Amino acid sequence: MSDRVRNDRETLLQPAALATVIVFGIALGLIIVHFRSGASESQVPVRRSPGSARWTQYDTAAYVVSTLNLLSRRSPHDLATRLHRRGIMAFAVRADTRRGDLYFVQLMRAHHHIGGVLAYRYGWRTPRAVTRLPAILPAPPAPLNLVREYWTTRLTPLETFRSTFPTYALRGAHRSSTA
């Protein structure tokens, strides 16, 4: 290929590449302006994530429910499966309204019956048993003042999970919200 033909091709490609960059830049600018203008959801069908406060609540609940895995004598990966075989269908995490570092995990059976309750407080190595639990969860008993706290304090629902290994990939597909 001669130098003249090569130079002609390079000259033709440079404006095309520049035009492509300009078009993408304008499109991106229009998208940003559109979303910042406060377009309603009926105009723009975009699935939005919950606010940061909701994510913090979800993260806290996910951490608390995952502490149940520390009670497993065998592999924690099959803990939820073994609990499911014993009728535990979900794990509802509740926050104590008076103490900011105290949470309760209700082991939910079918028809919203509670099959057991554990307490978890930040700083504890493992959750503690508030009520009688299935034998595969050898949790130490919770202090009596926290057992009373469970029965007398209003609890705030955080999240309900179907597993002790919450996932963030398909949030909403793996759990049912309790809020």
Residue with token string 């597909």: 173
What are the domain boundaries of the chain?
1-48, 52-176
Buried b (16+ CB within 10 A) or exposed e, 1-19: eeeeeeeeeeeeeeeeeee
Q: Give residue 80's pLDDT.
A: 81
Q: Give residue 163's pLDDT.
A: 84
Q: Give residue 96's pLDDT.
A: 92
Q: Which residues pair with 128 in a beta bridge?
A: 119
Q: Give residue 141's pLDDT.
A: 92
Q: Give residue 175's pLDDT.
A: 43
- Phi and psi angles of residue 59, each rounded to the nearest 5 degrees, phi first: -60, -45
Q: Give residue 112's pLDDT.
A: 83
SS3 2: coil
Instruction: Indicate the residue type of 47.
Output: R
CA angle 138, 143, 144 (to 5 degrees): 120
Residue ranges, the chain, pLDDT below 50: 28, 30, 32-49, 169-179
Q: Give residue 176's pLDDT.
A: 44
Instruction: Looking at the chain, list the stretches that DSSP marks H as alpha helix, in order from N- to C-terminal side.
Output: 3-36, 52-66, 79-85, 144-152
CA distance 49 to 98: 28
Q: Give residue 124's pLDDT.
A: 92
Query: What's the predicted TM-score (pTM) here?
Result: 0.63
Q: Give residue 12's pLDDT.
A: 52
